Amino acid sequence: MDISIELFNVLIRVLQGDITRCKTDIIVNAANTSLLGGGGVDGAIHRAGGPAILEDCIRIRNKQGGCPVGGAVYTTAGKLDAQYVVHTVGPVWNGGNHHEEELLATCYRHTLQLALELNARSIAFPNISTGIYRFPKEKAAEIAIQEVTRFIQKHTGLNEIIFVCFDIENAQLYSRKLQSSKD
């Protein structure tokens, strides 16, 4: 599955597949606060990128003590076909009454701001918080597309934004939400 639309002179794509195979300036990692790797996309990025990513994460931890929920930091991309990995920590879903939606939106805002500062032209996002953090997939897709749309309305620089969905359910959700945002 591969759907593309253009919004505000930026190509936005939805792909189903493995984010570690993307060729973009930035690959976004759905990290945990420790930055030491984990399961899901976090583990896959650390495995595919090699030890250089973890070494950078340890340096960041030693300097600032990890990354808070909603925050974002960047490291080398190691062996990945990218310049950087931006690690952002999404919220764990706890019923929706603990600012989870705002925290997820903040992940996208901070990540996109870092992309701007790093002069990135392309960025690939996973489905942040929708795996073991149990954020409702449809709500997460709405927030992701809303925040990306808001950002590209105000900022230039990015040419391509890719939502890389590991599963077909997310790919279909993101595709529908993206199409309806165009209308």
Sequence-separated (6 or more) residues with CB below 8 Å from residue 117: none
Any idea what DSSP says for residue 37? -
Question: For the purposes of burial, counting CB atoms within 10 Å of the CB of 7, is it exposed (0-12), middle (13-18) or buried (19 or more)?
Answer: middle
CATH of the domain at 96: 3.40.220.10
Cα–Cα distance for residue pair 80/70, rounded to 1 Å: 24
Would you state the torsion angle of the CA atoms of residues 58, 63, 66, 70, taken in this order, to the nearest 10 degrees? -130
Q: What is the enclosing helix (H) or strand (E) of 154? A: helix 137-154
Burial 110-138 (b: 16+ CB within 10 A, else e): bbbebbeebebebbbbbbbbbbebebebe
Question: For the purposes of burial, counting CB atoms within 10 Å of the CB of 101, is it exposed (0-12), middle (13-18) or buried (19 or more)?
Answer: middle
How many structural domains is the chain composed of? 1
Domain of residue 30, residue span: 2-182
| pLDDT attached to residue 1 | 65
Q: For residue 92, give both structure tokens.
A: 């764990």
For the question of residue 42 being annotated catalytic, the response is yes
Cα–Cα distance for residue pair 54/5, rounded to 1 Å: 35
Q: Are strands 160-165 and 122-125 parallel, antiparallel or unpaired?
A: parallel
| pLDDT attached to residue 183 | 64
Print pLDDT tens along the chain (183 aa): 678 999 999 999 999 999 999 999 999 999 999 999 888 999 999 999 999 999 999 999 999 999 999 999 999 999 999 999 999 999 999 999 999 999 999 999 999 999 999 999 999 999 999 999 999 999 999 999 999 999 999 999 999 999 999 999 999 999 998 888 776
Q: What is the enclosing helix (H) or strand (E) of 7? A: strand 2-7
Q: Give the predicted TM-score (pTM) of the model.
A: 0.96
Among 2, 18, 25, 42, which one carries the catalytic annotation? 42
